[in-house]
A and B are shown apart, each in its own frame.
Chain A
Amino acid sequence: MAKRFNACIDQHHAALFKHALWLLGSRQDAEDVVQETYCQAWRSFSTLKEDDSALAWLLTILRRSTAREYRGRARNNDLREALTAGLNEQASGIARQDMLDVFHALDSLNPAQRETLLLFALHGFSYREISARLEVPVGTVMSRIARARMALRKQLRVDDGNVIPLER
């Protein structure tokens, strides 16, 4: 079982860490919460039936850990460093400022909207999958994403309606 678990976290470590980083805005906090997630996940790993759903399962655990440990804590301690450490702007085509803008845009969302958006845009889950994971109706997922979309557009001063697709 340990081998299967190690393979599981090797596969999903990056996604988990990025998720935590965008949620918390601090590498140290993200590191802590991912580590805590691994510990929690190991204890209940036998309940994970299908490896295909491992990421969603880990994200659920991470969400609980985040909510418990970091509720109300200031998100961005060393934001620029946290988000853009080691970033090669030219090679990646990603501008540091864009990342900071996205972070501030995410920051303007409430936690539920932020998390829903990350599940949708970062991890590519469908509405239905997010609904199942967050245990909210599909309509709630859709409305959260719509609001997040509007907020992002406003924050990023984007006039195009294609910030994120309306349906998936």
Chain B
Amino acid sequence: MMADKHLQDLLNAPRTDAALAQRIRDNWRRQQRIAAREGSARFWLSGAAVAAMTLLGVLMLWPWMHPRPPLLVISARVDIDKDADLNNGLTTPMRDWLRVHQIGLPPTADRVEMAKYCNLSGYLNAHLRIAGARQGHAHVFVYPGSLPFGNAHAGRVQGMRWEAWRMGNAMSVLVLYDKKMRRKGVERILQAMFPPLANQALRQAGRAMPEHAAVC
């Protein structure tokens, strides 16, 4: 006769000695460690692969990845092209306007080829095209107030570099210059026209915010 209790005893009879159990657990833990190492290696390898792919993507998309310049800058760039053939020099009304706003004249070596007023996205600016002493051109847009550049303060737009400064709410300056124009030449022009801006901002590679001026 075999009662259920006896059957259960028989089924429970095989020994599971501690050494065997321990060996299984040791093997299992070793597998865990190996899996963790492989997982870690796989993680880093996959991380490296993702980083490489991202870098490749960035390099491929680099020409299109520059942050879009503010609309004002695009408008200025369009205005530059529009008036490329205008050579009216520094007119008397513009001289007066600059004097009224306590803006100096560019160095004599840097000739003002064109001066006019232009409307950039609803803001009436003074626009001066200045030929560099050696080569290249700089376009200085001045607005007697605060222009909405957002957080952007420098960049490239259609083959020209642009930089913007804002001196409190009193004045905003936007400069676009072509590849032939050296930045030092731009600094020299701005030093002459906007001494406070030049002395403090341009001295710091042109990007830093002057103490009294917010960089756009």
Which residues from chain A sit less than 8 Å from chain B, CB to CB? 6, 9, 13-14, 17-18, 21-22, 27, 31, 34-35, 38-39, 42, 82-87, 92-94, 98-99, 102, 118, 121-122, 124, 152, 156, 158, 160, 162-165
Q: How far is the CA of A84 from the CA of B17 in the complex (A)?
A: 12
Which chain B residues border A121 with CB–CB below 8 Å? 4, 7-8, 11
Q: Which residue of A lies closest to B2 (CB)?
A: A158
A164 touching B4 by the CB < 8 A rule?
yes
Given A9-B25, A35-B27, also A118-B11 (CB < 8 A): yes
Residues 170-190 (chain B) with a chain A CB within 8 angstroms: none
Which chain B residues border A18 with CB–CB below 8 Å? 11-12, 14, 16
Q: How far is the CA of A128 from the CA of B47 in the complex (A)?
A: 48
B14 touching A31 by the CB < 8 A rule?
no
Interface residues on B, range: 20 to 34
10 sampled A-B residue pairs with Cβ under 8 A = A17-B24, A31-B23, A82-B14, A83-B13, A83-B14, A85-B15, A86-B15, A121-B7, A122-B12, A152-B7
Q: Which residue of B lies closest to A153 (CB)?
A: B2
B81 within 8 A of A: no
Ranked nearest first, the 5 interchain pairs of A and B with the lowest CB-CB distance are A122-B11, A38-B28, A86-B15, A14-B16, A160-B1
Q: Which residue of B lies closest to A124 (CB)?
A: B8
Which residues from chain B sit less than 8 Å from chain A, CB to CB? 1-4, 7-17, 20-21, 23-25, 27-28, 31-32, 35
Which chain B residues border A102 with CB–CB below 8 Å? 7, 10-11
Partner of B2, one of A17, A160, A165: A160
Partner of A164, one of B7, B13, B16, B35: B7
Q: Which residue of B lies closest to A158 (CB)?
A: B2
A39 touching B21 by the CB < 8 A rule?
no
B1 touching A14 by the CB < 8 A rule?
no
A94 touching B28 by the CB < 8 A rule?
no
Q: Which residue of A lies closest to B21 (CB)?
A: A13
Which chain A residues border B9 with CB–CB below 8 Å? 92-94
Q: How far is the CA of A122 from the CA of B4 in the complex (A)?
A: 10
CB of A14 to closest CB in B, whole Å: 4
Q: How far is the CA of A35 from the CA of B23 in the complex (A)?
A: 10
